[in-house]
Amino acid sequence: MSALLDARGAEYAYPAGPPVVRGVSLEAGRGTLSALIGPNGCGKSTLIRLFAGLIEPARGELLFDGAPLRSLPRRELAKRVAYVPQASALAFPFTVLEVVLTGRSPYTPRFRFENAEDRERAMQALATVGAAHLASRRVTELSGGERQMVAVARALAQEPQCLLLDEPSAALDLKHRAALIRTLAQLRESQGLTALVVTHDLHLIDPLFDHVFALRDGILAAQGPPAEVLTDSVLAQVYDDPHVRTRRVDGRTLIWSN
Amino acid sequence: MKSAVPVRAPAVRLGRALAVLTLLLLVVAALAVWGGGQTLDLASIRSDPTTQTLLFRLRLPRVAMAALIGSSLAVAGAALQALFRNPLAEPATLGVSGGGAVGASIAIALGWGARISGIPLVFIAGFAGALAAVFVVHRIARSGAILLPGALLLAGVVVNLIASAAVLAIQYMTDSSRAMQILRWIVGSLDVVGFDTVWRMLLFLAPCWIALLALSRELHLLAMGEDTAGALGVNVERCETAVHLICSLLVGVTVAVGGAIGFVGLIVPHAVRLLFGEDLRIVLPGSLLLGAAFLIAADLVARVAFRPVELPVGAVTALIGGPVFLWLLHRRQRYSAL
């Protein structure tokens, strides 16, 4: 299976700060659902932002479908890669449909508004995440979880080949967390969608995710199928916590710290 | 409070906005041309030189000036609110008006009454002061190649505060008549004779309007968040720098000529939003039209409310804008940034 996302020795440091991503090399296969895990401050969000093209690596290279990321014009990249940042509040009371319609902007000529087809695709994206009933509501009136689902819908409206999600389940309740992961798995099956998900929800990884990348101090500390990474020894090393325990129950891995 | 908003296509809303606001502008402009300390006798326009002078040398240029300045402040306000993702941002937060006030105050205090190529030195000094403020704010807010909106906002506010103190000091040190001239300049004036200044301003302002309208899609996406905009194909750094500089030029020119007229850039974009929705691709052109109509109307009120005494137009916009601003705060539950 060929890699859709490919990092080769990527390094990045924020202005006047220490390196946050240090020589990371990894490949996310086409049509795979991958989790990016690690302790706070290990560089997960930065790596996702590098793949989204929001920042450029100080060293190393990032490739999308075999081509350097920087060779793609920004709007062309936005048609292929959709990024959902960590939950943040919107300053203006846009309607939900207005927010999701921005996902169609890479396809819309500069001085034109979105057309009926774009609106249809935006509504489909909302329906996919179970939020079609929110279309005419103002985002400032929604709960954090509902806003996060709207952000995912906006990303799906871009019709990307690859989704990059930064802690998408942080504001979601139990039901919606599981629903989001199931939706990503279904899109992987039906459309061959590739997704790289930063998550602290280790319980959701097994069995739906195909691959896990574990970062520690900006370095790729471990990678592999969930069964190989979600073990006592690997997680204890990644999280620097000797009390981490894992156990497989009914085909999924439970994780806790004593 | 949960509300369902009818979701009309934005193209329909834009058409409606342009039609309604253009009509409003024409009506307000007609009233402003006709009304004033001395109402025009339309029947005698062809025969009476006094009426002709009043119309073509005073009224029309003044209404045009109000339209240019009102449009510019309003569209800059709309752009800055999107840039900073803050509904309370307005041209004064750039620090430009403060810099312009210092420049003009120095020129007035030193008695610079001369003109260069027909442009009063006070205007040139005001513009120079505005540019200096832009330079200082821009340098402070940069971190390497990146412009930090939060730092931009803070630096602009602080530069304005420093400038206010400097203007006060200049007023104290100069004689009373020049101190009064400085005060009159600060609160804003649309006094103009003939169209020369109007055409010169238009040369600077029109390209800025066009540039902002061309960036309306980027601003619409920026209003959703920097990361979201970047992920949707916007070159965020370049766009933020361009918008900052364009707005600075807009405000610098208007401040140099008209003084520090406040609140237009704050309340007009909100009025457009309330009427036609949040889409920046509608709010920007709508603000151009409504800003012109608003300042023309404010100037008319300034001229007739206590005639023959003419109020400073900046006082009228503040008297209207202040209560509107408080009403906006009262409705703060609609905005998460407050």
pTM of the model: 0.90
CB contact under 8 A, B4 and A103: no
A81 interaction partners in chain B (CB closer than 8 Å): 231
pLDDT at A187 over 70: yes
**Could you tell me the CATH superfamily of domain A3-87+161-257?**
P-loop containing nucleotide triphosphate hydrolases (3.40.50.300)
Count of the separate structural domains present in chain B: 1
Determine the pLDDT at residue A7: 94
On whether residue B286 sits in a domain, the answer given is yes
CB contact under 8 A, B9 and A113: yes
CB contact under 8 A, A89 and B337: yes
- pLDDT one-digit tens code per residue, B182-206: 888 887 788 887 888 899 899 999 9
Determine the pLDDT at residue A125: 96
- How many CB atoms within 10 Å of residue B230? 24
- pLDDT one-digit tens code per residue, A156-176: 999 999 999 999 888 788 788
B86 interaction partners in chain A (CB closer than 8 Å): 91
Between A26-30, B103-107, B112-116, B312-316, the lowest mean confidence (pLDDT) is in: B112-116
Determine the pLDDT at residue B39: 67
On whether residue B4 sits in a domain, the answer given is no
- pLDDT one-digit tens code per residue, B45-75: 778 888 888 888 888 999 999 999 999 999 9
Mean of the per-residue pLDDT values of chain B = 86
Distance from CA of A28 to the nearest CA of B (A): 19
pLDDT at B40 over 70: no
* Helix/strand/coil for B285: helix
CB contact under 8 A, B335 and A92: yes
Two structure tokens written together for B275: 């009427």
Between A12-16, B131-135, B151-155, B295-299, the lowest mean confidence (pLDDT) is in: B151-155
Q: Which A residues in the span 127-166 are in contact with B, Cβ-Cβ below 8 Å?
A: 135-138, 140-141, 151, 154, 158
On whether residue B185 sits in a domain, the answer given is yes
CB contact under 8 A, B224 and A105: no
Which range marks the domain in which residue B139 is found?
A: 21-30+40-334
Question: Quick one: average pLDDT of B262-273?
Answer: 91
Q: What is the ipTM of this complex?
A: 0.92
CB contact under 8 A, B233 and A77: yes
pLDDT at B212 over 80: yes
Q: How many residues belong to chain B?
A: 338
- How many CB atoms within 10 Å of residue A256? 11
Determine the pLDDT at residue B285: 97
pLDDT at B7 over 60: no
Between A103-107, A162-166, B27-31, B145-149, the lowest mean confidence (pLDDT) is in: B145-149
CB contact under 8 A, A15 and B144: yes
Q: If pLDDT is split at 50, 70 and 90, which confidence band does B143 have?
A: low
pLDDT at A12 over 90: yes
Between A31-45, A200-214, B232-246, B324-338, the lowest mean confidence (pLDDT) is in: B324-338
pLDDT at A22 over 80: yes
On whether residue B12 sits in a domain, the answer given is no
Please report the DSSP string for chain A in residue order: --EEEEEEEEEEE-TTS-EEEEEEEEEEETT-EEEEE-STTSSHHHHHHHHTTSS--SEEEEEETTEEGGGS-HHHHHHHEEEEPSP---SS--BHHHHHHGGGGGGS-TT----HHHHHHHHHHHHHTT-GGGTTBBGGGS-HHHHHHHHHHHHHHT--SEEEEESTTTT--HHHHHHHHHHHHHHHHHH--EEEEE-S-GGGTTTT-SEEEEEETTEEEEEE-HHHHSSHHHHHHHHT-TTEEEEEETTEEEEEE-
In chain A, where the domains are located: 3-87+161-257
Interfacial residues of B (vs A; Cβ cutoff 8 Å): 1-7, 9-11, 14, 85-87, 143-144, 146, 214, 217, 220-221, 223-225, 227-228, 230-236, 273, 277-279, 281, 334-337
- Strands (E) in chain B, as ranges, are 115-116, 119-120, 142-143, 146-147
Higher pLDDT, B143 or B203: B203
Determine the pLDDT at residue B2: 45
On whether residue B5 sits in a domain, the answer given is no
Choose from B255-259, B280-284, B315-319 the range with maximum mean pLDDT: B280-284
On whether residue B14 sits in a domain, the answer given is no
Is residue B247 within 8 A of residue B106, CB to CB? The reply is no
CATH code of the domain covering residue B108: 1.10.3470.10
- pLDDT one-digit tens code per residue, B278-305: 999 999 999 999 999 999 999 999 988 8
CB contact under 8 A, B217 and A105: yes
Chain B contact for A49 (CB, 8 A cutoff): yes
A52 interaction partners in chain B (CB closer than 8 Å): 227, 230-231
CB contact under 8 A, B337 and A91: yes
Distance from CA of A111 to the nearest CA of B (A): 8
Determine the pLDDT at residue A203: 84
Mean of the per-residue pLDDT values of chain A = 91
Determine the pLDDT at residue B1: 42
Higher pLDDT, A96 or A243: A96
Question: Quick one: average pLDDT of A193-210?
Answer: 90
Question: Quick one: average pLDDT of B227-254?
Answer: 91
